[in-house]
């Protein structure tokens, strides 16, 4: 990352990430659309080329959504015992929507944490 010469008050990476805001100023939008990153912040001009969340948010989404949806489906099966079509009608749309919403929030948080901690791709030092 390039040195940041602008002076901005500290931004809480979790709050800014959950709201999809710039990690430096906390005002500009991080996303252009639903999950696509903007090239730069419209407010402070921070270049978002450093931002690469990779597969990090996906892992958390799978674990969180899987735990909640599978747990709720098992509880419903044991206590209510509905037909199979009710499970499909209820849990597939719920898991899909919950996954998409959580993906955006976690991607924003991971990118904000990446900026806050000056994280870069791994490098191997060879002498």
pLDDT of 7: 81
Residue 72 token pair: 């709720």
pLDDT at 5 over 60: no
pLDDT in tens, 67-116: 999 999 999 999 999 999 999 999 999 999 999 999 999 999 999 999 99
Distance CA 81, CA 51 (A): 46
Say how many C-beta atoms besides its own lie within 10 A of residue 98's C-beta: 15
Q: What is the pLDDT of residue 37?
A: 93
- Grade residue 2 by pLDDT with cuts at 50, 70 and 90: low
pLDDT at 50: 87
Is the pTM here over 0.75, yes or no? yes
Per-residue pLDDT reduced to its tens digit, 53-75: 889 899 999 999 999 999 999 99
78 to each of 20, 84, 100, how far by Cα in Å? 39, 13, 28
List the one residue out of 127, 123, 107, 124 whose CA is nearest residue 51: 107
């Amino acid at each position: 990352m390039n040195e940041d010469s602008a002076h901005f008050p500290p931004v809480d990476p979790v709050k800014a990430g959950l709201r999809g805001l710039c990690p430096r100023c906390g005002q500009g939008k991080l996303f252009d659309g639903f999950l696509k990153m903007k090239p730069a912040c419209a407010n402070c001009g921070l270049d978002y080329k450093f931002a690469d969340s990779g597969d990090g948010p996906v892992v958390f989404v799978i674990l969180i959504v899987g735990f909640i949806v599978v747990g709720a489906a098992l509880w419903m099966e044991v206590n209510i015992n509905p037909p199979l079509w009710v499970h499909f009608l209820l849990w597939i749309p719920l898991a899909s929507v919950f996954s998409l919403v959580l993906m955006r929030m976690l991607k924003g948080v991971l990118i904000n944490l990446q900026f806050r901690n000056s994280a870069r791709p791994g490098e191997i030092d060879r002498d």
